[in-house]
Structure 1
């Protein structure tokens, strides 16, 4: 229960739901027990008066006696129905308090986890895969909810029922009570072990089903590759093998589940037989009535299902504790990207790196080594280098997705760590290398970048990114839905929509991380010409492995294996006859051939 104690704050928040639930459970238990008492009176009424009724056979008094006798039975029947109705009403209120509380806590917990996810740094997402993050906010929270709702509801019901019923049964007859209760602990332990086996096999089935779903998703996502390589038959065979594995595990679970109800019914039968046996001997001795036996049989049935649920409740608590432990691991993860002074101000756009070294915390890879450069407000810088040279890391440090391992990043001569994160990032425009579009309309994807949604600004941004005409050629224009991750658009269109999204917010610092890699040379030139207007008056950083993208920049730096090896203008670097010149010579002929 140590891990589950984290939920105590939510129980306190919804204390009135919990207190009301306990009250309604107590009332429902009272109205659940009371009918058995009326059954005892009814049966005793019959057994005590049947001989008198028979002795009046042939007399007029018999009809009158029958009318009184039958009227009493009808009154008892109506009372039982009224009590059952009242119990049903209070059970409704139990679910409207306890189960409603579990849903409210589930809602709060999911929001807390999601909000915490949003606050964590990029390094957290590099260490943990998306599937695990999703499982903790969905599957694990669902298991915790089963503890908060059904487990607490049935547990409280069991506790209140035992607290009221067992002492009352002992006041009637100690021997009969002990005989009635003998099989119940055996039942609870048996259900506990059967439930554990069921849970273990259920988890194996979930893993198998997850694998099956993942395989199917990959097959559908990569259907073009499958068809291109004519691997449909192999794909079907592999899917069939995974389906067989799932089927075998499901059948094993079914065999165990088939023991569940026979076990419960068998032990109920044993308890009933013992009750009848012990009760009959006492009826013969005159210490009990037939009504008492009937009453105790009802009590045995009332106790059986709550006791049987004890094993299930224990299993739910175990699974919830394991899930809450997984959730707590993430909730206890702290964000190390925090502001030292929460400085909020409009930036001009000066960027300076002072002897910056950066080592990725999760992999230990040294991405940057003693990098220093400075960009004046309104200037543009191109960062050129081969794959893995540390280009994108510079963009991540300016966005403060990571903090430097050594050295300082300054914006307007102020250490970046002093800025309020939201204030800083709201003044940056970033086009990532791996373009991501939401499954929404093109309009909403571009407007996503704006501080305040402005239709004119969205259209202007689309024109500046040279994607406006492409959008208007679609039947639904800006209302065209781009599909999952923008799958309905070409690579070049996705990149240009991403550029439009970045510039729609009029950022003070604009960063383009290899954002023209998926467009042809002609389109690149068109966008670059547009970019001249876009870049005017704002600090711009163009990260690319293509030399053609660097020509626009006022300054160029060349990275190699995390080190700054060259810097200067395009003409100066050509004259140096170094790495930049080598890249230029390799790429220029290819681009001329393509044009």
Structure 2
């Protein structure tokens, strides 16, 4: 895989800024190389007795002037190269998030939230470091290193330069040798962070269960285990860096020692002047960073490469539900549904969840789908929403194959209330009007009234502007279900799908909601998945699923006239209600 495949467009877009920043960086580096020459000339002038009071301010102004220019230049290249790297990070993170939104539900069944969060944070940050600090260190090290050595040779002494720089390549050598270990350990750090993030996210999401089962200590022990793993992997990486810095200091001091001993002897022998000696020692000190930086830039790039490859794996994952070029962008199709001989197995499995499903729904009809747990009701709803791919010529809307309709056009025509009534940490009004770009207060209240949640919302301190906690934690299960129903109704869609949407409300509230829905959904094609038969007995058509197949089909009256699964379920539910009332 081409590592730069997905970031190449951004690199091309920001190339002018990178070039400008690099040229500015080179200019600043060149200015820094002048300062040792000035100091050396000052020393020689001083030692020769030619230094006058008038000349001292000239040297001072030159040094201070270069320092000011260097400071301004550093600000300039930081604002170009580092800012450009930040823009790259911003665009890459957005691209990852946008791509993750396109991936099917099945992808999230096999990838942990913590891993995905780590990709969007740590990995993107490492890529930014590679294209920000990494580029700066590489250019800085190469230019400063080459130019410093050239100046040491041409302005001081060739032999002294060769001896002094002899130990310095060892710095880059050892850091590059350690690079493989750094890459392996950094991979471990990223994975440990993913595990820790996933553990924290899961614990906070399930905090009610943890508290209700008094499992705080057990959860804390599990967190400590993950946290210790994260600490250990980070320390293993820190140990390498802890070894590198003393090693660099030792090798650098060796170069300085050679320069002092051999350079001092050259001064004594009058081969070089004291000023040239001072200049040389300054250059040796300046040469340490470029040599060290070459090793570090290798490691930064290695870490960026590891992270970029992890990101590329996500971006290379093709969405299973993708629109082809020849699809119909139908926004006013007739809300009729037909399912023909639909058989479906989840990706990666061989056992069909649904087998030979066939039924049709006319415009304005209400069709109920009922069955025991695990019979395939929710799976069927997911397929009608095009959340999974099905075989061609199995699902039709307005006589058009579902494969011929764009995802957006299809789902825009459907108001869906899932089993998992997820609410965002936003105001209640935002959650109800989520499906539309604009928010109409009257329509929000109307949808809430139909779903029998308006009065309870008004009891909140800030009414519709009440901020909900994570996943709507400050609402009961029944309240969340009714807000979800209001969210689907706010769209005013031609098709409404309710997936066991009234299971958390009492019978009286359920009856009131159904009566309001019946009035609101006149002329709307409606599919209702339910466990309670009282919810759906007035439906135009009732489909009974059993082990993924249609076992029975008809109206409430026709199904009650024969011995059937439906009749058995209804009889048991009536008995349960009778016992509940008597108790």
What TM-score results when the alignment is normalised by the length of structure 2? Answer: 0.93
Aligned to 2:11: 11
> Could you say what secondary structure the match of 2:354 adopts?
strand
Shift of 1:432: 0.6
Aligned to 2:427: 441
In 2, Cα distance between the equivalents of 1:240 and 1:327? 28
Shift of 1:272: 0.7
Task: Assess, with a 3 A threshold, how the Cα gap between structure 1 residues 20 and 406 changes in structure 2: closer, same or farther.
Answer: closer
Aligned to 1:275: 259
Shift of 1:158: 1.2
Shift of 1:407: 4.1
What TM-score results when the alignment is normalised by the length of structure 1? Answer: 0.91
Aligned to 1:377: 363
Matches within 5 A, 1:192-231: 192-193=176-177, 204=188, 211=195, 215=199, 218-219=202-203, 221-231=205-215
Task: Assess, with a 3 A threshold, how the Cα gap between structure 1 residues 551 and 451 changes in structure 2: closer, same or farther.
Answer: farther
Aligned to 1:48: 48
Q: Tell me which of 251, 273, 284 is aligned to 1:289.
A: 273
Equivalent residues of 2:435, 2:491 under 8 A apart = yes
Equivalent residues of 2:414, 2:493 under 8 A apart = yes
Aligned to 1:135: 118
Task: Assess, with a 3 A threshold, how the Cα gap between structure 1 residues 401 and 216 changes in structure 2: closer, same or farther.
Answer: closer
Tell me, yes or no, if structure 1 residue 573 matches structure 2 residue 559: yes
Shift of 1:515: 0.9
Equivalent residues of 1:175, 1:278 under 8 A apart = no
Shift of 1:234: 4.8
Aligned to 1:177: 161
In 2, Cα distance between the equivalents of 1:241 and 1:411? 52
Aligned to 1:60: none
Tell me, yes or no, if structure 1 residue 466 matches structure 2 residue 466: no
Equivalent residues of 1:521, 1:594 under 8 A apart = no
Equivalent residues of 1:384, 1:559 under 8 A apart = yes
Task: Assess, with a 3 A threshold, how the Cα gap between structure 1 residues 105 and 497 changes in structure 2: closer, same or farther.
Answer: same
Task: Assess, with a 3 A threshold, how the Cα gap between structure 1 residues 81 and 451 changes in structure 2: closer, same or farther.
Answer: closer
Task: Assess, with a 3 A threshold, how the Cα gap between structure 1 residues 149 and 261 changes in structure 2: closer, same or farther.
Answer: same
In 1, Cα distance between the equivalents of 2:378 and 2:89? 38
In 1, Cα distance between the equivalents of 2:225 and 2:99? 39
1:19-38 deviation line (CA, Å, top 9, x unaligned): 10111011111111000111
1:504-563 deviation line (CA, Å, top 9, x unaligned): 111100000111111222222221222211221100000122222221310011111111
1:152-211 deviation line (CA, Å, top 9, x unaligned): 111111122234332232223211111221121112233445676566556656655665
1:344-366 deviation line (CA, Å, top 9, x unaligned): 23022110001111121144441
1:422-448 deviation line (CA, Å, top 9, x unaligned): 122111100011111000111110011
Where does the alignment leave 5 or more consecutive residues of structure 1 unmatched? 50-64
Aligned to 1:56: none
Task: Please say which structure displays the higher CA radius of gyration.
Answer: 1
1:350-395 deviation line (CA, Å, top 9, x unaligned): 1000111112114444121111101100001001111221111221
Aligned residues: CA RMSD: 2.4
Q: Tell me which of 217, 227, 246 is aligned to 1:262.
A: 246
In 2, Cα distance between the equivalents of 1:12 and 1:117? 24
Where does the alignment leave 5 or more consecutive residues of structure 2 unmatched? none
In 1, Cα distance between the equivalents of 2:198 and 2:415? 35
Aligned to 1:319: 303
Moved more, 482-491 or 79-88: 79-88
Aligned to 2:100: 117
